[in-house]
Amino acid sequence: MKRYLPLLTAIVFAGSTALMAQAQSPTPRSKPDQPSTAKPSAAHEGEHAKGSTADQDFAKKVAAGGQAEVEVTMLAQQKATSNDVKDLASRLHSDHMKANDELKKIASQKGWTLPAEPTAEQKAKKEKLDKLSGAAFDKEFVNMMVTNHKANIPNFEREASRGSDPDVKQFASSIVPTLKEHLELAQKVQKSLLGSSASASSKSGTSSKPGYGGNK
């Protein structure tokens, strides 16, 4: 029995040492809750991307159209014979230059690339206008301005109310009153040209009553 005593003592000592070491080791602390890193849903990202694309498309169309207006109004200042038409062209030219510069600043901040020239269709309309002269030029230019502004105002109003980009929305909203004023001015000049044409026709003795396809 004595010969087993040292072995038993060693086993008891080893066991007590392990228990002491275990008691002295720090208890692992639970990690605090980590902040959520959940990404936006694919549907949300898709809606945002769609909105941004629509805003960019609007900006690109406005940039091309604005450049077309600048070039056409410059042409009108050179070729128009009516002072009213020249004044209209000068006002539109100045306002569209300012709007174009403002839109360029917005696009630059967002890294968007805007067209620097009109579309092929807009260039063709300018070339057609450039072939006219005198009263015919004045009439066609003013008619073009009335038509363009009637078409553009709803587009700007739509962007101002439904656009996704706040900067582009604000831009569109700020331009709407100017476009409406342009339309009003163009319509006044349009009526003035019609009145002048009717007066000149009456004085020259070329006015006649409407006929029905036969001579009486």
Q: What is the pLDDT of residues 75-131, one digit of tens each?
A: 999 999 999 999 999 999 999 999 999 999 999 999 999 999 999 999 999 999 999
112 within some domain: yes
Whole-model pTM: value is 0.70
Under the banding of pLDDT at 50, 70 and 90, the label for residue 29 is: low
Q: How many domains does the chain have?
A: 1
pLDDT recorded at residue 100: 98
Q: 5 in a domain, yes or no? A: no
What are the pLDDT digits (tens) for 124-167?
A: 999 999 999 999 999 999 999 999 999 999 999 999 999 999 99
Residue 71 lies in a domain: yes
Question: Would you say residue 160 lies in a domain?
Answer: yes
Quote the domain boundaries for residue 133: 51-200
Query: Given this model, what pLDDT does residue 168 score?
Result: 98
- 20 lies in some domain: no
The predicted model gives 8-13 an average pLDDT of 44
For residue 49, is pLDDT > 80? no
> What is the structure's pLDDT at 201?
59
Q: Which domain CATH number covers 135?
A: 1.20.1260.10
- pLDDT digits over 170-213, tens only? 999 999 999 999 999 999 999 999 987 666 655 655 544 443 34
What is the pLDDT at residue 44? 43
So what's the pLDDT on residue 7?
Answer: 46
| Banded model confidence at residue 48, pLDDT cuts 50, 70, 90 | very low
Instruction: Give yes or no for a contact between 153 and 183, defined as CB atoms under 8 angstroms apart.
Output: yes
In a domain, 39, yes or no: no
Q: Note the pLDDT of residue 204.
A: 57
Residue 12 lies in a domain: no
User: For residue 52, what pLDDT is reported?
Assistant: 82
In-domain check, residue 165: yes
